[in-house]
Chain A
């Protein structure tokens, strides 16, 4: 998937309501610019539309509608942001999904809440780990986001440190990027035989394409378990002996992770138990509801570890 090639000045010309206020951040398929609309900060997300014709159809045949997975994902992301209210899910901004042509590129864009803070990947890169109490907050907040998504029939499918922000103002964690979220009732956007997401945060069942439509929120809980493990220990639970993403996936499918306390002795057995339960191979061995996970995490002894 290609990124659009755009300068701030081109965007300002094409979308006059917006004032670009900083440099872009590059995601897998998106450019994200900080911007202002009517004096308030927002994030502007831009994607390159990539319409494709169904196989075997003459591209000149205007009777056959082309399908653009990028637009479809953006539409879904916007719809999910619109319907979800959790403070731990990023909110939609004032500009709804729109399309504009810039220098021959068909650009899809929308705005979302600008979160003043750092993403968890950056925090872990700089600090190595979070405090146990911050990991507890992380688990509680992202579980609330997963719960809200699931209550609307969605699964995020791409929970990873890069998709989690910590707000500067109050330390709350917020889940971003619903672009890969899966709607149980909707038609599949991803190509047959593929499973979107970031492989080293896949749940075992997510790696099984045949079970794609059987996924539920417990798959997101697995990914959250990996993120919490990393935040506690600075180590990915399935990285041992693996050199590539495929090898990590192999470990996710077959290896039993060491308790987090193996890497950080002060972690209590309560925390070990909660995290390892999130990382169980079968969804039925994880938590039955996000509420039960949050209850277990809330009561897990932190052991006075800062």
Chain B
């Protein structure tokens, strides 16, 4: 159970600091946000400093090739990247093979622990893009088999959350991919709700948990869940090896919006990740209100970073984004450790207990006058509780 950094724009020294803290165990590199030379130098530097203590992965972000007029940043400088592809360019198996060969070939130039296959995003397990994704995965397996000294291969699955609405089509998809001989999967789920944290539908989250459980626990694949935030605790509890999260909300839940034409926006409000609440609350007004009613202790995570919040009014505390990010990773790592256990039944029982306690703390805070906005209130916890209970019942754990 590990937390990886989802690399993105403006990394500063956060990743190195998170690794030094021991909160992070790996990094998923983003070509969109670094030139090939800088990314290579960054990876080399991480390896030199942390050696086997860091798992280095590279998300090729091939899914951006089908975004019209994509804001692809430095991706355009990578030799495997083809901007503006349409379905027509995926009809030929030879073309798909070439995309796979080029993408994995580039990764062979980096000192990575796993290679990640290229992928396209699909909305439904039965749509044509899903078939293209399967072909691309198979071609990646074929290329990987023929490559000497290759790192173990993770097949990339990039899907819209709506694909997870139907268990029947998910079952059929799983029947196919579980027969493949690969080390594991890199799973990315596009979220449709733009708010943070994005709301999940019960059946979608239940099927996501099932997907990870089948891949990781039943079929013993290594499953790395990209762009995953606190909800990733459920995925770790059912066998996921790692979840990846970053400093921006767009690095904590996946959408194609960073690749699409900019529509403007405003800076996100400062957040504080509360271990007792298993949630990222707003510093103002939520944490600040708790301070005024004397209940800050019920929300504090007590990491090495949050002394500023413990020592006075959070509204006036020095809480720069870098600190908030390192604190966030630290809390994620601690919560992940808390739901550790020898088997999935134990882990889910522990997680359920943790969720219940967090819901009880929310109730206590609310009864003391702390009001929460809907996304940062207990909404997600009650959903997680329903999902964990339903899943435990389904697998008899």
Q: Please list the residues of chain A having a beta carbon within 8 angstroms of any beta carbon in chain B.
A: 205, 211, 214, 216, 218, 282-285, 288, 292
Contact = CB atoms under 8 A, between A and B. Distances in A.
Contacts of B218: 284-285, 288
A206 to B, nearest CB: 13
B178 A288 contact: yes
Interface stretch (B77-85, B88-96, B169-177): B169-177
B273 to A, nearest CB: 35
A285 B174 CA distance: 9
A288 B219 contact: yes
B328 to A, nearest CB: 34
Contacts of A288: 178-179, 218-220
A214 B176 CA distance: 8
A284 B219 CA distance: 8
Contacts of B175: 205, 214, 282-284
Contact of B214 (A205, A214, A285): A285
Given A218-B179, A283-B179, A284-B214, A292 B220 contact: yes
Given A284-B171, A288-B219, A292-B220, 4 more contacts: A282-B171, A282-B175, A284-B178, A288-B218
10 contacts: A205-B175, A211-B172, A214-B172, A214-B176, A216-B179, A282-B171, A284-B214, A284-B219, A288-B179, A292-B220
B148 to A, nearest CB: 23
Nearest to B218: A285
Interface residues of B, number: 11
A283 B220 contact: no
Interface string B172-189: 101110110000000000
A282 B173 CA distance: 11
A283 B174 CA distance: 8
A292 B175 CA distance: 17
A216 B176 CA distance: 9
Nearest to B177: A284
A282 B172 CA distance: 8
Contacts of A216: 179
Contacts of A285: 214, 218
A153 to B, nearest CB: 12
A282 B174 contact: yes
Contacts of A284: 171, 174-175, 178, 214, 218-219
Contacts of A218: 179
Interface string B215-227: 0001110000000
Nearest to A288: B219
Nearest to A283: B175
A255 B309 CA distance: 56
A283 B220 CA distance: 14
A205 B179 CA distance: 15
Interface in B164-220: 171-172, 174-176, 178-179, 214, 218-220
Contacts of A283: 175, 178-179
A211 B169 CA distance: 13
